[in-house]
A and B are shown apart, each in its own frame.
Chain A
């Protein structure tokens, strides 16, 4: 089966985001950008399915500015076969992304679409589920284990309180949780090879999808700062503090 893996270019997770003084958003000028960590896990899982002989081809797709090419090249260097970039200089919301991905899925006919469970910039956790709804496919969200057999896939999900396993008819949607796997690093020869792998460029208009945002940002602010605390010297003093806080009698 073919596996489709959507990836997103986001602010690197090690960078502390700075809110712009005018309150319009987070400052992304001259900061390190990387592939969303959950998407790296999605790419890795697709590659492992290919190595097991389950997946025949891995197509990675990204929706965003031209620079998202770098993110797609990273996925190609990890082991994906080809890439599709849907160029939009304006931000596209999960609903718009899901609609575009649904069109790509209709064209590519994958057996699985593996997405990250959430992007670490907008923290929405929506795209995979929305794509499932639009395609009318089953969804295995927050996956920590994926096993494909015949025309079904068993997905072990991380839920509040433990794990849950569901069986989905393929084609299906999987969204990755952290413990699904540990993504590999792209080796230098593979990075070189990735440069010659095919990358197709499209626009939302090519798919006839209206990606006008439904939500408008009124303002973006820094969260309330916590008051500076005190340091205590030893355990007795700590217990004294706990007592004044009413934690212990």
Chain B
């Protein structure tokens, strides 16, 4: 079986999410990595070094510059005549592109795969992670998105694949990129951070969120996350949101501050290795999943914790 893997990159380097997708794809067969972009030679070279990648395809064209699904999906669908499966990480880019590829191939996609049971059988979470479904695909070609936190990352160094340049039909003229506003952060990226400090609505305001959560995160070298309630209340930006409708994380340590632990939120973090909860309500659902819980006033506890660390 040969598998085409979507490489998520910033032209110069490969993003971590790709490494987990390579591991998942390796369970199915021979892995060929696709780098689509504009000026993406650096990313192709980096992809060639990933352990387990046998070949890299580089589609370098202005049309692929911002990974617009309208342009990229036909390229992939055409390439798929030579592959048995297409695997993308379940990032916003992967989720945007893969279903478009699946429909062009007339196959059903399997989203957010947690494990590969066999060549056609996979597990995936449903109902916000409250149930795990094992599904078997009857389609000739498989299209999968991979939940990055469910697979080990392939080694970024050690491989020596060849890079082959390919071309596709290019711009379909359906869409164009206007601009991007990327949130600047000195801290580690949320989905790949080892430690995450997350704040909820109990923080009370944006000022208090930043005054309490940020210093604690900085002390621990952690990324900062937030519950949907905190984001909706405007205490933290959208891309901080951890949950079913935000980011799915599984760090080594997740510190939930002033977060009650709604189903929606738990879906995004309950696979963390260690969960620590600080909440004044001892009946808060978060304590049912927390390994270590501290009941008390976060406005006293968090500054004290930050100072003593």
One of A58-66, A106-114, A184-192, A226-234 at the interface: A226-234
A241: shortest Cβ distance to chain B, in Å?
Answer: 5
B125 touches A164 (CB 8 A): no
B108 touches A93 (CB 8 A): yes
A179 contacts chain B at the CB level, 8 A cutoff:
yes
A121 contacts chain B at the CB level, 8 A cutoff:
yes
A162 touches B138 (CB 8 A): no
A235 touches B133 (CB 8 A): no
One of B24-32, B160-168, B178-186, B201-209 at the interface: B178-186
Chain B residues contacting A81 (CB-CB under 8 Å) are none
Q: How many angstroms between the C-alpha atoms of A19 and B126 in the bound complex?
A: 11
B180 touches A165 (CB 8 A): yes
Q: Is the interface of B mostly helix, strand, loop or mixed?
A: mixed
Known: A11-B127, A226-B289. A139 touches B111 (CB 8 A): no
A22 contacts chain B at the CB level, 8 A cutoff:
no
A216 contacts chain B at the CB level, 8 A cutoff:
yes
B69 touches A132 (CB 8 A): yes
Contacts of B219-265 to chain A: CB distance below 8 A: 220, 228, 231-232, 238-239, 244-245, 247, 252-253, 263-264
A179 nearest CB neighbor, chain B only: B238
B13 contacts chain A at the CB level, 8 A cutoff:
no
Q: How many angstroms between the C-alpha atoms of A123 and B275 in the bound complex?
A: 24
A29 contacts chain B at the CB level, 8 A cutoff:
no
B179 nearest CB neighbor, chain A only: A165
Known: A19-B131, A160-B247, A223-B129. A130 touches B100 (CB 8 A): yes
A126 contacts chain B at the CB level, 8 A cutoff:
yes
A234 touches B294 (CB 8 A): yes
B97: shortest Cβ distance to chain A, in Å?
Answer: 8
B41: shortest Cβ distance to chain A, in Å?
Answer: 23
Known: A161-B239, A167-B178, A236-B308. A215 touches B103 (CB 8 A): no
Known: A95-B103, A125-B99. A138 touches B70 (CB 8 A): yes
Q: Is the interface of A mostly helix, strand, loop or mixed?
A: mixed
B132 touches A220 (CB 8 A): yes
Chain B residues contacting A124 (CB-CB under 8 Å) are 109, 111
Chain B residues contacting A221 (CB-CB under 8 Å) are 131-132, 134
Tally of chain A residues near chain B (CB < 8 A): 81
Q: How many angstroms between the C-alpha atoms of A169 and B66 in the bound complex?
A: 17
B228 touches A129 (CB 8 A): no
Known: A130-B103, A144-B238. A214 touches B293 (CB 8 A): no
Q: How many angstroms between the C-alpha atoms of A98 and B105 in the bound complex?
A: 13
Contacts of A96-143 to chain B: CB distance below 8 A: 98, 118, 120-134, 136-142
A11: shortest Cβ distance to chain B, in Å?
Answer: 7
A205 contacts chain B at the CB level, 8 A cutoff:
no
Tally of chain B residues near chain A (CB < 8 A): 88
Chain A residues contacting B178 (CB-CB under 8 Å) are 154, 165-167
Known: A133-B100, A158-B92, A227-B291. A215 touches B137 (CB 8 A): yes
Chain A residues contacting B180 (CB-CB under 8 Å) are 159, 162-165
B195 touches A247 (CB 8 A): yes
Q: How many angstroms between the C-alpha atoms of A134 and B178 in the bound complex?
A: 24
A243: shortest Cβ distance to chain B, in Å?
Answer: 10
Q: Which of A94, A136, A139, A227 contacts B96 (CB 8 A)?
A: A139
One of B51-59, B78-86, B169-177 at the interface: B169-177
Q: How many angstroms between the C-alpha atoms of A167 and B270 in the bound complex?
A: 37
A161 touches B183 (CB 8 A): yes
Chain A residues contacting B295 (CB-CB under 8 Å) are 231
B111 touches A126 (CB 8 A): yes
B305 touches A169 (CB 8 A): no
Q: Can you give 6 contacting A-B residue pairs, CB < 8 Å?
A: A93-B108, A157-B92, A226-B289, A229-B289, A229-B292, A229-B293
A-binding residues in B (CB < 8 A): 66, 68-70, 73, 91-93, 95-104, 106-112, 121, 125-139, 173-183, 189, 191, 195, 220, 228, 231-232, 238-239, 244-245, 247, 252-253, 263-264, 270, 274-276, 282, 287-296, 301, 304-305, 308-309
